[in-house]
Amino acid sequence: LKRLNTLLLPIPYPQTFYSEILPSPLLTRLTRLAFYNPPPSSSSSPSTQPICVGAIRCRLEPHGKLYVMTLCTLSPYRGLGVAGRLLEAVVGRGVREVYAHVWEMNVEGIGWYARRGFEVGAVVGGYYRRLRPDGARIVRRRV
């Protein structure tokens, strides 16, 4: 998760973002990784290791809201349904709404959410202090 987030997302997350997952059964259920298992090679090398190609981390909030904290997929694996399946895997019973903040310049991400029925809200200025421009769009969908 940390490796993908560092590689693909424009803002860093503190170590606590990652270290608090394993001790918490709830956070473990709301964090998922997607792996690709390459076919065995014909060489004499041992079996090829699975490759982590996508990840999601969410937080459950009051009133049945699920907040998507991070969602990312390596570019060669985009368009294959990886992110959608990760999202489906964490949406559980009792969730009424899913929402996320998406950097206003992340056109690909905003489009991904819009194609899946999320409403795209107006830009909220100042959300990303380290990015320029610093705004985020809130995307939300009722479940």
Domain 2-37+48-142 architecture:
3-Layer(aba) Sandwich (3.40)
Q: What is the pLDDT of residue 58?
A: 97
Q: What is the pLDDT of residue 48?
A: 79
Bridge partners for 142 per DSSP = 97
Three-point CA angle 140, 56, 78, nearest 5°: 90
Task: Check whether 46 has a pLDDT greater than 70.
Answer: no
Q: What is the pLDDT of residue 26?
A: 86
Non-local CB neighbours of 37 within 8 Å, separated by 6+ positions = 48, 50, 51
* pTM attached to this predicted model: 0.89
Reported as a pLDDT band with limits 50, 70 and 90, residue 39 is confident
**Interval 75-122: pLDDT, tens:** 999 999 999 999 999 998 889 999 999 999 999 999 999 999 999 999
Q: Tell me the C-alpha distance between 19 and 14, whole Å.
A: 9
Residues 97/143, Cβ–Cβ less than 8 Å: yes
Which two tokens mark 40? 């065995």
Q: How do the domains of the chain map onto residue ranges?
A: 2-37+48-142
Non-local CB neighbours of 129 within 8 Å, separated by 6+ positions = none
